[in-house]
Structure 1
Amino acid sequence: MEILALWGLFAGLVLGTLIVDLLVFNRKPHVMLLPEASVWCGIWVSLAAAFGAAVFVLEGSAKGMEFITGYVIEWSLSVDNLFVFIVIFRYFAVPPAYLHRVLFYGIMGAVVLRGIFIAAGVGLLTYFHWTIYLFGAFLVFTGVKLLRAGEVEVEPQKNPVLRFFTRLMPIETTYDQQKFFVRRNGNLVGTALVPVLIVIETTDVMFAVDSVPAILAITQDPFIVYTSNIFAILGLRSLFFLLAGVMGMFRYLKVGLCFVLSFVGVKMLISDLYKVPITVSLGIVAGILAASIVASLVFPPAENPAEGQHADGSAVLPGGPEGPVAHGKDIEHRAA
């Protein structure tokens, strides 16, 4: 009965907040400035904290700690994903006023995709226990690979899903407000926002390959895995606008994430010999992330960290006020 109450609370919090977000506060396209982004970040973190408290009360401290640890891991991985989103939006020269709508539907797709990945991961670990070693080794490998990786490169022209879609439907080279599809001479065509959404969705699939095994190292309870994952990614939109102008300051965050992934990978590999207590896991993960943030602030990059912000503190977002005409003249080639 308690778990059903928690599922109902989760659905009510998420659906209610998303409806208010989309139909009330973001009904018309606008650039989300720092104050608004800060408020929405606070709302999503507060909702996650309130839900975590409910898990503590109804399911016990062990499940509550699993939720918090899973949320921290997924949230930290999501912050790193924002770097890739910025590169994608710059590539397509998306006008800042349309970014919220693209992120909204992109994350809605991620909610469904994460559910599928989580169900598959839990199923594999339940019926084929030996796959835990594959997941663990993959996370360690990913952590090492991430540490050695250079600048993120986005090549949508090589995206097979985008190439397939453009063969099925014509794509315009310009943006039409924040619409994804329009009628032209009686025919349905996609606007320039469609390729952006497709690339965001397919990129999230790659993110899920890392993040889902990472949280499965903490718990294999589908409810905890899914809810902590969803709460983390739903706050991505406001977090994007909050951090877009200052993410360059966190130069060592990626290093911290490498150690986090490697730690949870090792935790999986030794799970049959020794189960790391959940409180120890949370302490180690939080300590690694805190150390990476402190190191980033103590040893800032050579360039001016305030660069990329307006005088009012809001971020200079991809696309600029000129929109796709000024920056996206080759968008037809990019979408092809």
Structure 2
Amino acid sequence: MNVPLWVWFAVIGFILVMLIVDLVAHRKAHVISVREAAAWSAVWVFFGVAFGAIIWRFWGAEFGQQYFAGYLIEKSLAVDNVFVWAIIFTFFAVPREYQHRVLFFGVLGALVFRAIFIAAGSAIIASAGWVLYLFAAFLLFTGYRMLVQRNEHIDPSKSRALKLFRRHVPMTDAFHGQRFLIRKNGVLLATPLLAVLVLVEVTDIIFAVDSIPAIFAVTDEVFLVFTANAFAILGLRAMYFLLADLIHRFVYLKIGLAMVLIWVGIKMALKIDVFYIPTPISLAVITTILTISIAASLIKTRGQERHEPPAPVEPPFRTADDAEIAALQPVWTRTRKVAATHGGTTGTSSAGRPAENPAAGPTIREDRAGDDRSADGDRQDTPRH
């Protein structure tokens, strides 16, 4: 497949423009309604399908079918991300109006990480063809593991990434609007929203390890692998807000996803030395598996009430009120150097109190009666109560 360099730049430029449009459209925090999520989902699916039609028209039916097979695989496996995101957001009691901002930067990071994985995977396959055996075995193992562990409970509080983050990064005990970082008493602090973003990025890296080998089973073309990934991922945020209230109904979907992974693993193994399974057959098998699993799930759960993912008895973080947020300093202002104890390196808060859980890291409880400095260094007096 001969893809001119300008086509690469055009596709990447289009993706960046759409990300900017999405960011501007959601610059103000608000709860994403089902109608808005459905509209954005339709937009992203339209672009994904339209791009596939362009591939089909200018590069032929074979490459068009490979793109659609890869797009369908990535789109279906992405549903697993939605399950985990719902658990993370529920566990940390992230207000719904702030979830889109987390997912925007989460998807942006996912695009970067997957581009790196795709480039690395392509280089490895080109230099050592036998690695396809490892990819096939890994896909078969992952599919089997998904079958036997589909009902396993996920506890975000046990995440090693979260423990490492809280151990080394000073963090507040409250959400401050959409901010990932705040400056309190001259100290730059992370908010819980940044910790949630880290977890979202880590989960996507884990899922990318499954999905990238899967798409290489249906196409060797790096351009198709990248674009199928990109257009599938771009619609993930809208998919989450569209499906978040329906997740409990997809009881058989993980079985379907496991069977898809097993199928592409078998296809990859047979492709190496035995025979090549035509792309239309692969596309038909994947579509059939997903359709049956979704239809069976909806029939099984017809009339069931919504069940929230498990949440902690006490939310781990609170939400700062408007007065607290208004009193904050600009994050990137220049300030005087402060004592090391304010930076969380000794496990103390900005008010000199020990952090709530030193083992978990320097979470700093904020003093609402404290004062901050504005961008020009003048003191802002907090009203006394």
Q: TM-score normalised to the size of structure 2?
A: 0.78
- Taking a change above 3 Å as real, the CA distance of residues 306 and 291 of structure 1, as seen in their structure-2 partners, is same
Post-superposition CA distance 1:136-169 (Å, at most 9, x none): 011111111101112341334442x444443443
Q: Distance in 1 between matches of 2:205 and 2:125?
A: 20
Q: Does 1:275 align with 2:268?
A: no
Report what 1:325 is aligned to: 318
- Taking a change above 3 Å as real, the CA distance of residues 192 and 124 of structure 1, as seen in their structure-2 partners, is same
Shift of 1:80: 2.0
SS in 2 for 1:245: coil
Report what 1:180 is aligned to: 180
Q: Distance in 2 between matches of 1:89 and 1:165?
A: 17
Q: Distance in 2 between matches of 1:263 and 1:13?
A: 33
Shift of 1:193: 0.6
Aligned-partner residue type, residue 196 of structure 1 = V
Residues 81 and 203, structure 2, Cα contact 8 Å, conserved in 1:
no
Report what 1:244 is aligned to: 244
Residues 2 and 59, structure 1, Cα contact 8 Å, conserved in 2:
no
Aligned-partner residue type, residue 177 of structure 2 = Q
Report what 2:118 is aligned to: 118
Shift of 1:335: 6.3
Residues 139 and 262, structure 1, Cα contact 8 Å, conserved in 2:
yes
Report the identity percentage: 43
Report what 2:105 is aligned to: 105
Report what 1:231 is aligned to: 231
Q: Distance in 1 between matches of 2:360 and 2:238?
A: 27
Q: Name stretches of at least 5 consecutive residues in structure 2 with no aligned partner.
A: 320-354, 362-385
Residues 248 and 306, structure 2, Cα contact 8 Å, conserved in 1:
no
Shift of 1:305: 3.3
Report what 1:203 is aligned to: 203
Q: Distance in 1 between matches of 2:213 and 2:289?
A: 19
Post-superposition CA distance 1:146-198 (Å, at most 9, x none): 01112341334442x44444344311110000000011111211011111011
- Taking a change above 3 Å as real, the CA distance of residues 111 and 203 of structure 1, as seen in their structure-2 partners, is same
Report what 1:286 is aligned to: 287
Q: How many residues are treated as equivalent by the alignment?
A: 320
Q: Which has the higher contact order (CA 8 A, sep 6+)?
A: 1
Report what 1:307 is aligned to: 306
Report what 2:139 is aligned to: 139
Q: Distance in 2 between matches of 1:222 and 1:2?
A: 10
Aligned-partner residue type, residue 205 of structure 1 = I
Shift of 1:6: 3.3
Aligned-partner residue type, residue 22 of structure 2 = D
Post-superposition CA distance 1:204-252 (Å, at most 9, x none): 1110110000001011211110110111111010100000001211111
- Taking a change above 3 Å as real, the CA distance of residues 29 and 323 of structure 1, as seen in their structure-2 partners, is farther
Aligned-partner residue type, residue 174 of structure 1 = A
Q: Distance in 1 between matches of 2:52 and 2:81?
A: 24
CA-based RMSD of the aligned residues comes to 2.4
Report what 1:39 is aligned to: 39
Aligned-partner residue type, residue 305 of structure 1 = Q
Shift of 1:60: 1.5
Post-superposition CA distance 1:90-114 (Å, at most 9, x none): 1111011000000000111111110
Q: TM-score normalised to the size of structure 1?
A: 0.89
Moved more, 161-170 or 140-149: 161-170
- Taking a change above 3 Å as real, the CA distance of residues 107 and 239 of structure 1, as seen in their structure-2 partners, is same
SS in 2 for 1:270: helix
